[in-house]
Amino acid sequence: MKTISTFAALLALSACSAEMPPPSQAPVPPGAYRALGTEPGWTVTIEDDRIVYDGEYGEVRFSVPRPEPRTTFNGHRYEARSATHSLTVDITHQRCNDGMSDRIFTDTVMVIADGKTFRGCGGDILSSDELVSLADTRWTIAAIAGEPVEADGRYFLNFTADRMNGKAGCNNLSGRYGVAGSTLTAGPIAATKMACPEPYMAREQKAFDILSRPAQLSYQDGDTVIVRSAAGEIVLKRAR
């Protein structure tokens, strides 16, 4: 009888285990914060008293006590430790594409799990009507390729429904553009041929290089957009 009882218990345990979803598919507890990334796949779930890390496609899983977050520029940071693990979760309130779909999340997230760094997205998934539309908007260029520029009227971009025009230091530019998800595709870009002194010409060329390639749009808020392509980035501030 003892053998039969043990066998029945094992069957019951096996059945329960089969019904449980793998860690990466576990439902998010009410009120918890979820972040995720790809290549390798990972998730972080921040609950009331714990932070759960599920990394490397579910091969590494641990939890640590949840500390109070530290306020950072445009976000906050958790630095947690247990006897065997360390976990840092850095959340920036800058919109993020998960890289595998057209989903846009409210936050950009960096995770350092036991010394390994991963990047991804977190927070709420935004619906299409929550995203900033470029149509019928006017922007001042604040920086080109990491270099702040003067607010002297030489740097701006304006958008209609399907065309853009502006200036990136020297010549007037114009061209068609389109946005699919968070990807901006512009061009061909036409420009006047006036010569200008430096640094205006060099900055303009950098801006043309950035805009001539597919670029990701990162929305820090409704008044700041970063246009980032393989050639660098342009920071736009909404014109008043």
Give the containing element (helix H, strand E) for 6: helix 2-19
Ranges of residues in the chain with a pLDDT under 70 are 1-30, 99-102, 127-132, 220-222, 240
Closest CA to 220 of 59, 107, 67, 123: 107
CB 182 within 8 A of CB 104: yes
Question: For residue 186, what pLDDT is reported?
Answer: 93
3-state secondary structure 104-126: EEEEEEEEEECCEEEEEEEEEEE
Which tens digits make up the pLDDT trace of 121-137? 999 887 655 566 788 89
Question: For residue 44, what pLDDT is reported?
Answer: 96
Which tens digits make up the pLDDT trace of 76-93? 999 999 999 999 999 998
Question: For residue 3, what pLDDT is reported?
Answer: 43
Classify domain 132-238 at the CATH class level. Answer: mainly beta
**3 state DSSP class of 202:** helix
Residue ranges covered by each domain of the chain: 29-128, 132-238
Question: For residue 155, what pLDDT is reported?
Answer: 96
- How far apart are alpha carbons 37 and 85 in whole angstroms? 20
Bridge-based pairing state of the strands 155-159 and 86-92: unpaired
Q: Which residues pair with 155 in a beta bridge?
A: 168
Question: For residue 28, what pLDDT is reported?
Answer: 57
Question: For residue 203, what pLDDT is reported?
Answer: 95
Question: For residue 228, what pLDDT is reported?
Answer: 92
**3 state DSSP class of 79:** strand
Question: For residue 60, what pLDDT is reported?
Answer: 92
Question: For residue 222, what pLDDT is reported?
Answer: 63
Which residues are CB-neighbours of 65 under 8 A, at least 6 positions away?
49, 50, 51, 80, 82
Question: For residue 117, what pLDDT is reported?
Answer: 95
Which residues of 114-213 form beta strands (DSSP E)?
116-126, 137-144, 147-148, 155-159, 163-168, 172-180, 183-191
